[in-house]
Amino acid sequence: MKKKCSRLLSVLSGAAMLLTEIPVQPVSAAAQAEPKLIALTFDDGPNTTTTNDVLDVLEEYDAKASFFLIGVNITDESAKSVKRAYDMGMEIDNHSKTHSNMGGMAPEQIQEEIRYVDEQVYAITGEYPKFFRPPFIDTSDVMYDNIDLPFICGIDCQDYMENVTAQERADYILNGAKDGVIVLLHDAAGNSQTVEALKIAMPELAAQGYEFVTLTELFERQGETPKHGLLYSSVAKYPCAGYTLEESLSGDKDKITLDTAKLASLGEDYAIEVDYNGTANPPVIALQKWSGNPPIWQAIQPFYANGEKAVFLASDILPVLEQLGVTYADLDGISLTGYGTDPIELTNARLLVRGEPSDTLAGDVNADGTVSLTDLIMLQKWLHQSGKLTDAKAADLNGDNAADVFDLALLKRVLVG
């Protein structure tokens, strides 16, 4: 599967060039109490049989879902199933006209594959599709350049294989379920085992507190805007609203080594956040242990990644250590790094801790108990990448978990005041 794209991160220049921060919406207590969200999606319809059987199950649970249509399957009769789905609150999306591999197509062919389905869906519902799922999850730079819709993948439940039973399909759904996940299923004609799998999985998911939503609602309620050039299988909610800056992390552009002793001391109460640029794949945390048999090189995917920022929680890392039977002290190294062949640039990495900030004097970056011109000079040198901060927390004057030129401006105002 190719997932290549190019993106530029905006930079600020004053004394230094820094990555712009993505605004983070505060998470209220009410928002934290919301149900977990899961997006069921169905490919390869419409038809007059299985599509309606799926809709019957969704209706029983008052569930919303998204249907990705193949253009040549839309007929006068199957259009009635599409209209029924739309009237029930389902989202109708684009799965290409012919369900062909599109990675090698010319721009004109790609555009025709998309335009045909868009127009058919608009004729039935009065709305155009909002998302696209590439056939066979085959993507290319040319596709990203010629399809102005977010690309959706999802967890694979293997329900396109006849020898996978309804129970096994349900198990794939249940084992892959987590807040924000997208489930890839098929309502192709005759695929009755997926209908049975839904009857098994949906009551269990409902009992676990999941709410079934469309893709549009998933992005909106998770506080994320779909980005061009990414292929989404889940949409996590930014997890660090209750964290504060412990220290800024430094290293090479393609690798940042982490302090194992520091992480061990923080237990379950830390997160590692990093801005990245240059690849469709987010960075990973790599656990390395060269001694012993066999050696270890274990990649841990981030809990949250939005194409520019990735977050790793302690709860992502600790279970892997336990599974491998090692501790931080046993490792030869743990680092932030790229994964795959595409180049990556890591910038502005931060170690965050959960809970209220300690008694830190805002602006006292040299930790001498006062805020003075010395602090301003230290912060300015750090932004120039020619110095270090004694207290990174104190440098975060605007409370966005980063020390940047905005904090420098605030510190100047404090001193002038």
Which residues have a catalytic role annotated? 43, 186
Q: Looking at the DSSP assignment, which residues form a beta bridge with residue 85?
A: none
Q: Are strands 36-45 and 181-186 parallel, antiparallel or unpaired?
A: parallel
C-beta separation of 212 from 182 below 8 A: no
What is the Cα–Cα distance from 334 to 287, expressed in whole angstroms?
5
C-beta separation of 251 from 346 below 8 A: yes
What is the Cα–Cα distance from 93 to 74, expressed in whole angstroms?
13
Q: Which residues are CB-neighbours of 163 under 8 A, at least 6 positions away? A: none
Q: Tokens representing 223?
A: 């506080």
What does the buried/exposed string (b/e) look like for 108-121 if buried means 16 or more CB atoms within 10 Å of the residue's CB?
A: ebbeebbebbbebb
What is the Cα–Cα distance from 43 to 45, expressed in whole angstroms?
6
- CA 85: distance to chain centroid? 27
Q: Is 360 exposed, middle or buried (0-12, 13-18, 19+ CB in 10 A)?
A: middle
